[in-house]
Amino acid sequence: MYQNHKYKASKDHRNMQSHMGESTETRANDPSSSSSSSSLCLCFMGSSAADKFSDEPITPIGRFFLQPQMDQIIHCTMGFKNPIDIAAIKSHLKTSLLLSHPRFSSLMVRSPRGLKQWHRTSHVDLNRHIIVVPNTITTASNFDHEAAVNAYLADLSTSSDLSADKPLWEFHLLMAHNCGVFRIHHALGDGASLMSLFSASFRGAEEEEKLPALGSAGKKRNRVNGEKGWWVLLIGFVGMVWFSLIFVVEFALRSLWVCDRKTEISGGDGVELWPRKLATARFKLQDMKLVKKAVPNATINDVLVGVVSAGLSRYLDHRTPNGLPEGLRITGIAMANLREQPRLQELTDLMKSNSGSSWGNKFSTFLLPIYYKKSSGTEPLEYLRRAKVIMDRKKQSLEALFSYKIGCFLMTYLGAKIATWLLYRTVCNTSFAISNILGPQEEIAVGGNPVTYLRVNTSSLPHALTMHMVSYVERADMQISVAKDIIPDPEFLAKCFEEALLDMKEAAHCETND
């Protein structure tokens, strides 16, 4: 349905860049490897009948991420405490649960009917998946390692695809910057699935036989008991129906013509092809936990939404002083985990197809409105209180579940082009995307090398601003990806978010002392 001619040109440009990059990036112990057989392998493997593994169809949500307009690759960056030992990492991966997982040892092939499927292979050549980058990313004499890694990730966001003649993942080792970047196609699974797999595959440095803690399960919502009476159930049901109706209609209108007012952070059609910049906002989980206690029944997600609302208001004040009306709505797309347990799962539970916490892309999206407030005249915790009201209404509704079911229905019965076009329009008509992923709460290690930080970002979207936060061992890092021609100073934006949390922390501390 929708075909952007710029995208075709960009695809050719990406292929050119990937070939040009061979001079600076070397495949581990396999300098002669080539992707020239990609299409042959895709066709021949799809027609192979004599194989002990049966092919599995790609899920409808997975097919979204294989369409040109929404092609998504997850980049998971790991910082290492010690110098990288390539041999130790290869040895670890060979015996890890990661390689034994079906998705990480399967090719994406086409069936005789033309449908994309997963075809299990009997052997994964690690030499083709481990990409060694021996030199520094920048040629400058004085450089910051974090900025250099973020520049590398920004380039990957728009310029490099994964080859189809091997399982759709890679591990880039940036030797000079002492970090690794897992590149994993989103069709393999969502953030919750991948974090659970990482937790099971990369054991802690001190206790090799113990799996890292998966994080607390959190309190389940208590069912209304009989003592509260039928009227409580009735009010809850009416609220669910009302908010679901409002939010579902609004979501449908967003996919057609309703859009945000243009601001200094607005993206749009084709912006996914624009050059990117990345910056990192660093938070302490302890600070976020302290802030959430200042508002009864608030959650870390509420705090994050409040921080984003306050930070964006502060940033827009800087970019356009007195240029926006008070209370202007800025709408984002937020990700919601649809599993029964919204925490990291044991890998065995994820692999059960009949489990409520099954592996794959079991997440959905919902519209997240925030409101511009002049930062100079707004009490910091007011952003959190407003965020909690919005999030409580979203939780009470069925918006996320509806968008998931409708997406599957459209992909199955109307085809990939129409379904992807509607999703693409929704993204174009909103201003940002945000996600929050719970990572391991104990230190993990790859090849015996402790991981000091864990960060996630994805390929570009039509948004000029996307934010992905991951919590790991009492810290939470949020990767901020921007279209640099629209938002030229993501480092300042990251500082706005960090200062917003500190202001909330100070306000919460004052309320506690009072």
Question: What residues act catalytically?
Answer: 186
DSSP code for 163: P
430's CB contacts (< 8 A; 6+ apart) are: 254, 259, 260, 331, 332, 333, 367, 463
**In a 3-state reduction of DSSP, which class is residue 125?**
coil
The CA distance from 157 to 275, in Å, is 9
- DSSP code of residue 270: T
Return the number of other C-beta atoms located less than 10 Å from residue 474's C-beta.
Answer: 10
Structure tokens at 31: 């300098």
Provide the strand spans (E) within 372-464. 432-438, 445-446, 449-458
Nearest CA among 491, 478, 484, 375 for reference residue 433: 478
Distance of CA 225 to the CA centre of its chain: 37
Kindly state the tokens that stand for 461.
Answer: 């979207």
Non-local (6+) Cβ contacts of 263 within 8 A are: 316, 320, 324, 328, 330, 431
As a whole number of angstroms, the distance between CA 408 and CA 242 comes to 24
Q: Running DSSP on this structure, what letter comes out for residue 499?
A: H
Per-residue exposure over 33-67, b if at least 16 CB sit within 10 Å of its own CB, e if not:
bebeeeeebbeebbeeeeeeeebeebbbbbbbbbb
Helix H or strand E encompassing 401: helix 399-413
Q: Which neighbouring-strand residues pair with 337?
A: 363
Q: Are strands 432-438 and 329-337 parallel, antiparallel or unpaired?
A: parallel
Dig out the tokens for 263 from the structure. 């601001």
325: which 2 tokens?
């009306």
What tokens appear for 322 in the block? 């007195």
Question: What whole-number distance in Å separates Cα of residue 11 and Cα of residue 68?
Answer: 9
- How far is 199 from 306, CA to CA, in rounded Å? 29
36: Cβ–Cβ under 8 A, 6 or more apart, which residues?
none
Q: Are 151 and 110 in contact (CB under 8 A)?
A: no
